[in-house]
Structure 1
Amino acid sequence: MYHLLMRIRQVGFSSRLKAHRKLLTLETLKFIVEYLRDGNARMAAFRSGVPENYASRQGAWLKKHPIVKAALEAEVDERDALRLQKALAEIDRQMDICKDILGLQDF
């Protein structure tokens, strides 16, 4: 029974990983915007909310993520980078409003 349960969990996990490859999360978007600032993956991960002890590893992993690679291949000038930063600030503001409505300020 244990082996069957482990097998079911493994299948579920791998299919979520495959689905995640084409999903732009808020955390991934924050990393992309931060990485565009200075090209430093560790610092971009840290500034986007990853704990300092994991920032180096997570930054290296995120740089290999298909969505991040595609975004970094795009030609983004200073004006576009500023628009991205403003859009991300607006998303954060809207998230705070949603958390307030739902009573999730502590999350």
Structure 2
Amino acid sequence: MRKTVVHIFFTCFLVFGVSSLQSCKTASILKTSSDSYAKTNPADIEVFMSKKPTKKFIEIGTVTSSKNVGIFSRTQEKTYKELKEKAASIGGNAIINLTEDISQVKGVVIRYTE
């Protein structure tokens, strides 16, 4: 009987623990413009590591994505996809000044003006 109770408790703990890791906040947006823009397509978001686009633009926010969820590392592809989704949600066309440290990736969201 005691063994069954321990087994059930462990199973519940494992299920709730894994599901809570899935719901951890991994990305954030900080709008730096009071203007609102229509959402854009995440697949169309350009990412500039060091150079900047030649088109004229305005900065509309910053996005940050965690490289880890709990004790698990996330792939670069997943992290960048999340950055693009967040940038698109505020109407961005590109992400510039991308910086990366041991725990997160961060960039400035821009919108083209021409």
Q: Normalised by the size of structure 2, how large is the TM-score?
A: 0.29
Relative CO higher for 1 or 2, CA cutoff 8 Å, sep ≥ 6? 2
- Report the structure number with the largest CA radius of gyration: 2
| Structure (1/2) with the larger helix percentage | 1
